[in-house]
């Protein structure tokens, strides 16, 4: 699946990439996505539920082990999400060199 996403970086939207970037490089408060009742938040920034679910389906974020499903679900970026971000940055850098 990662190869499919790498081949076509457009499978992740700008908003999804923004969320991954915040989770990877943000302040301590921004390194966790909280999901409740169909709405997500990175710090105080609201994130659409469909964005959260798309990142879960892409295996880019993982449920935190201390989280309880159905209450507050806490997600963090995982190694797949970091690889997606890195491949996107590399793709942008190589397109600028041309």
| Domains of the chain and any CATH numbers | 2-92 (1.10.10)
Report how far residue 63's alpha carbon sits from residue 69's, in angstroms, rounded to the nearest whole number. 9
Check residue 44 and give its pLDDT. 92
Which stretch of 4-13, 66-75, 78-87 has the lowest confidence by average pLDDT? Answer: 4-13
pLDDT digits (tens, 9 = 90+) for 19-33: 999 999 999 888 999
Instruction: Report DSSP state, residue 75.
Output: E
Which stretch of 10-19, 30-39, 76-85 has the lowest confidence by average pLDDT? Answer: 10-19
The percent of residues above 90 in pLDDT, for the chain, comes to: 56
Question: Which class for 70: exposed (0-12), middle (13-18), buried (19 or more C-beta within 10 A)?
Answer: exposed
Phi, psi at residue 47, to the nearest 5°? -125, 130
Q: Are 10 and 92 in contact (CB under 8 A)?
A: no
């Amino acid at each position: 699946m990662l190869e499919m996403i790498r081949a076509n970086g457009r499978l992740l939207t700008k908003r999804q990439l923004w969320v991954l970037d915040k989770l990877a490089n943000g302040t301590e408060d921004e390194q966790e996505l909280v999901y409740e009742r169909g709405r997500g938040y990175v710090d105080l920034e609201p994130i659409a539920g469909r964005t959260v679910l798309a990142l879960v389906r892409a295996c880019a974020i993982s449920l935190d082990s201390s989280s309880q499903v159905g209450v507050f679900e806490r997600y963090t970026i995982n190694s797949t999400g970091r690889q997606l971000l890195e491949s996107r940055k590399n793709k942008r850098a190589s397109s600028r060199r041309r």
